[in-house]
A and B are shown apart, each in its own frame.
Chain A
Amino acid sequence: MATRSLLEVMNGFVVELRSAGLPVSLTEHIDAMEAVRVVDLADRESLKHALAATLVKNHTHWRPFEVVFEVYFSSLGGRVALAPADIGAGPHDDLDVMLQHLQDAAADRGGRLADLTSDELAEMLYRALLEGDDAVAKALASQAVTRFSGMEPGRPVGGTYYLHRTLRRLDLESIMQRLLDQAEADAADGLTDFQRRLARDEYDSRIGRLRRAIEAEIRRRLVADRGASAVAKTLRRPLPEDIDFMHASADEMAQLRKALVPLTHKLAVRLARKRRHGRKGPLDFRSTVRHSLSYGGVPAEPKFRHPRPSKPEIFVVADISGSVAAFARFTLMLVHAIAGQFSKVRSFVFIDGIDEVTRHFDAAEDAAEAIHRVNTEADVIWVDGHSDYGHAFEELWKTWGNDIGPRTTVILLGDARNNYHAASAWVVKEIRARARHVYWLNPEPRSYWNTGDSIVGEYASHCDGVFECRNLRQLERFVDVLG
C-alpha cells in the first residue's frame, strides 16, 4: 500500500476513533504515525498493538478501538479488498495458510472445502473445537459465513443480522452438548461435577473465539462491500462510561456492571485521600499560645487542630419504578460498595410506598444478590404501583425523619415524574433544614426536566444541588462532590 494512502487511512482511522468518543490528541496521532514507520505493516497484530499503545490510553477503550481497527485495516497487509462480485464466492484470499490446514484436515474426507455438505462442515467444526485447533475453526467460520449468512452486496442490513443467521444454522448449542458428552465419555470413570465445569469453561472459551472469528469475517466482508467509514458508523457503540442508564441493553448493562467494580475501588481511594488531605482544622488557641513562649510571647507559629475526618452519613432514597429502575439499582450498588467511606449508609426505595432496604445490603454477600432481594422483598407498593413521590416522601418523613441529623447527607434519586400526584415538596424543605446536604440525582436528560408530569423543579428549589446523572461518568463526578 502506498504511503500516501496509508496516511489517508490513518487519518480516517483517527477521525473515526474520535467520533467513537476516544480522546485522541494531535501528539498521539503523530506518535502513531511514527510508530507505523517502525513496525512491519504486513503483520496486522503488531500494527494493532503499536497503534493501541500510541492512541489508546485507557484500557476500557480497547474494545471500541479494536472494532474500528478491524474495520479500517481489514484490507491491509498483503490483502486485497474484495470486489462485490467476489463476496460469497469461495475461500478468502487471506486464508491461504488456514486453508492449507483445512485441506489437510479434510483430506481424509476426500473433499475440498467448498464441496463439503453442511453436515460435514458441522462435523469438521465439531472436531476443530474438540481439538482446540483455532486455525481450522477460523477457516471453517469463513466458510460458514459464505454458506449460511446469505450476504448480498449492497443489501442494507446490519452485521448482526448476518451473524444471527450464521449462528442459527451452525447450532453451536448442540455442538457444545456433543463436546461435553465426548469429554464425559473420554474420562475413564466419568467426570466429577468439578471437572465437568472446567471442561465446559474450556469449550465455552473455544466457542467464544469461534464466534468472534465469525463476527470478524462478516465485518470484513461488509467493509469490502460498503467501505470502511460506512461500516464503522453502523458499528459505533458508546464507551462504557457513556452508556445511558435508562436505555441500556442487557449487554450494555453487563458492561456497566463490569465497569462498576474498578470504579468503586477508585472512588474509595479517592475519597479516603481527599479526607486525609482536607484543609487544616480550626486554630488551636491553647497550643499556639504554648508555642509562642519560645518566641518570647509572639505567636509566630500558629497551631491548628487536627481536622476531624467527618465521615458523612448517607441516606439514599431511590425511586425504583420501571422507568428509572436500572439507574436506581446502579446507584445503590455504587453507594453500598463504597460504604466504608461513610460512617453509615441507609437506603430506602419507593414507588408509591416506601421501605428501608439497608438490611438487604448488610446481609447479602454481594451487590447483585442484595439488589435481587430488594426487588423481590421490599414493600414499596401502596395503592397502584405508579410513582408517587409526594406520598413516599411524607412516609419517609413520618417514619424516619427523626433519624436525619446535621451529619446526614440525603440523596434523592428519580426522574420526579409524579403522575400528577401532590408533590409534597415541603418534606424536602424540612429535610434540608435538618440535614447537612440534600442532593437530587435525575437520570433524565436536562432538557426533559419539568416537561409533562416531571416536577423536579419543585423539589430542586429545596435541594443543595440537582445533578443530571445519565451515565457512569456523571455518577462518578457526583460521588466526588459527596466526599
Chain B
Amino acid sequence: MTNRFESSAAVKDALKAVAYLADDATSGVVFLADRLQKPILVEGPAGTGKTELAKAVAAVTGSRLIRLQCYEGLDESKALYEWNYKKQLLRIQAQRNAEGDGASWSELEEDIFSESFLLSRPLLEAIRATDPVVLLIDEVDRLEVETEALLLEVLSDYQVSIPELGTMVAEQIPLVLLTSNNTRELSEALKRRCLFLHIDYPELDREKEIVLTRVPDISEHLADQIVRIVRRIRQLELKKHPSVSETLDWARTLLLLGVDDIDAATAKSTLNILLKYQSDMQRAAKELTANDPLKAL
C-alpha cells in the first residue's frame, strides 16, 4: 500500500490546487488518515465545507468519490448490498423450463447466491472497487443508533461479511470520510474507530483567502470588508450563523451589484443572503446600524 501523501504540508498544497483551502488541522488529519488507514469523522456547523473536503480529497488523489447519503430509515439493503431477487427468480424459472439437464438444487442455490446476483450498494462498492476510491458517508448523525452498527465492520476492518458468500475484504484501503452536523451524540464505538476533525468557521484571514479564491473577480478591499462583517455577525447570538458558503454567496451578490465599499445600508439590504431567519436578520440589522457605544463616551 503506497501512501497518497508525503506530508501534511503536501496535503495542504494539493488541496489548495483544487481551490480548497485547508487549515493545519484539516491537512494534518487527512495526512494521518492516509498513513494510519483510518476513517475521518468530520464534524462542524453546516456550510463549513465538510462535504467539500471529501470532494477535494477525491480530486487530488484522482479517486472516484462514492457517496452514501444517510437518512433516517437507511438500512442494510441500501447501504451495504442486496440480492437481486428478480434476477434470481428468472434464473430459477429458466432452470425449471430446461428441466432434465440434471442440475441439482444445491448447484442452483450456489448459483443464485453468487456475485453476479449481488447488487452492490455504496459501502460494498467501495470495498470491492479496484480503482482508488474515496468513500463519503454524509450526515451520519441522521442514522438511528442501531443502524450505525452497519458501518462498524466497514470502518474498522474494511470488509463486509455476506452470510451466503463469506467475507469480502477490500482490494485496496479506501479513504473514508464521515460527516456529522452533531445533531446527536454518535456512539462511542463509531467515534473510537475514527480520527476526529472539527471544522469550525474559519479564521478571518483564511476566510478572506477563501473568498478571494472562490470569487475570482472580487477586490481585496471588498473581500476584507465582507469577512469582517461576517465575523461581527457571527458573534451575535443567532439561530443560524452565516456559513462559509453563505459568505461566498454574499460576496458574489455584492460583486454583481457592483458594490466596491460596503456601508451599513448596503449590508442591511442584502442581509437576506447571509441569514435565513427573520429574527436573525432583524437582530443583525440592529447591530449594523446601532450607534457605537464607545462614541458616546
Interface residues in chain A, defined as those with a beta carbon under 8 Å from any beta carbon in chain B? 23, 25, 27-28, 31, 34-35, 38-40, 45-46, 49-50, 52-54, 56-59, 62, 180, 192-194, 196-198, 200-202, 205, 261-262, 265-266, 269-270, 273, 277, 365-366, 368
Contacts and interface: CB of A to CB of B under 8 A. Distances in A.
Contact of A266 (B184, B263, B289, B290): B184
Nearest to A56: B196
Nearest to B43: A59
Interface in B280-297: 282-283, 288-292, 294-295
Nearest to A37: B35
A265 B232 contact: no
Contact of A39 (B28, B204, B288): B28
B36 A198 contact: no
28 contacts: A34-B36, A35-B32, A50-B32, A52-B25, A52-B196, A53-B25, A53-B28, A53-B32, A57-B41, A57-B196, A59-B43, A180-B294, A193-B264, A193-B291, A194-B289, A198-B225, A198-B228, A198-B232, A201-B228, A201-B231, A201-B235, A205-B204, A261-B237, A266-B185, A270-B184, A273-B72, A365-B283, A366-B283
Given A53-B197, A59-B43, A194 B288 contact: yes
A209 to B, nearest CB: 10
Contacts of A38: 31-32, 35-36
Contact of B183 (A58, A62, A265, A366): A265
A28 B196 CA distance: 11
B38 interface: yes
Contacts of A277: 144
B221 interface: no
Contacts of A59: 43-44, 198, 200
B8 A201 contact: no
Contact of A31 (B28, B36, B41, B225): B36
A49 B28 contact: yes
Given A46-B24, A198-B229, A270-B184, 19 more contacts: A27-B192, A38-B32, A38-B35, A50-B32, A53-B40, A56-B196, A57-B191, A59-B200, A192-B263, A193-B291, A194-B289, A201-B228, A201-B232, A202-B228, A266-B182, A266-B185, A270-B183, A365-B279, A368-B237
A46 B7 CA distance: 10
A365 B236 CA distance: 13
A56 B229 CA distance: 32
Contacts of B7: 40
Contacts of A262: 182
A458 B184 CA distance: 37
A287 B292 CA distance: 67
B29 interface: yes
A269 B182 CA distance: 10
Contacts of B289: 194
Contact of B8 (A23, A46, A54, A368): A46
Nearest to A49: B28
Q: Which 5 A-B pairs have the closest CB atoms?
A: A49-B28, A59-B198, A57-B191, A53-B195, A193-B292
A244 to B, nearest CB: 22
Contacts of A54: 32, 195-196
A391 B227 CA distance: 55
B25 A49 contact: yes
Given A31-B38, A202-B228, A265-B183, A49 B263 contact: no
B274 to A, nearest CB: 15
A34 B44 CA distance: 26
A483 to B, nearest CB: 13
A269 B283 CA distance: 25
Interface string B173-185: 0000000001111
Contacts of B263: 192, 194
A28 B192 contact: yes
A269 B183 CA distance: 7
Contact of B295 (A57, A193, A201): A193
Contacts of B31: 38
B294 A200 contact: yes
Contacts of A28: 192
B147 to A, nearest CB: 12
Contact of B264 (A39, A194, A201): A194
Nearest to B72: A273
A184 to B, nearest CB: 10
Interface string B13-51: 000000000001100110110011010110110000000
Contacts of B36: 31, 34-35, 38
A202 B44 CA distance: 24
Nearest to A55: B196
Interface in B247-290: 263-264, 267, 279, 282-283, 288-290
Contact of B192 (A25, A45, A198, A368): A25
Nearest to A273: B72
A38 B283 CA distance: 48
B8 A39 contact: yes
Contacts of B35: 38
A50 B28 contact: yes
With most chain B CB atoms within 10 A of its CB, the pick from A31, A46, A53, A366 is A53
B113 to A, nearest CB: 30
A56 B195 CA distance: 9
A280 to B, nearest CB: 16
A196 B72 CA distance: 48
B237 A366 contact: yes
Contacts of B200: 59
Nearest to A45: B24
Nearest to A23: B188
A9 to B, nearest CB: 19
A180 B31 CA distance: 42
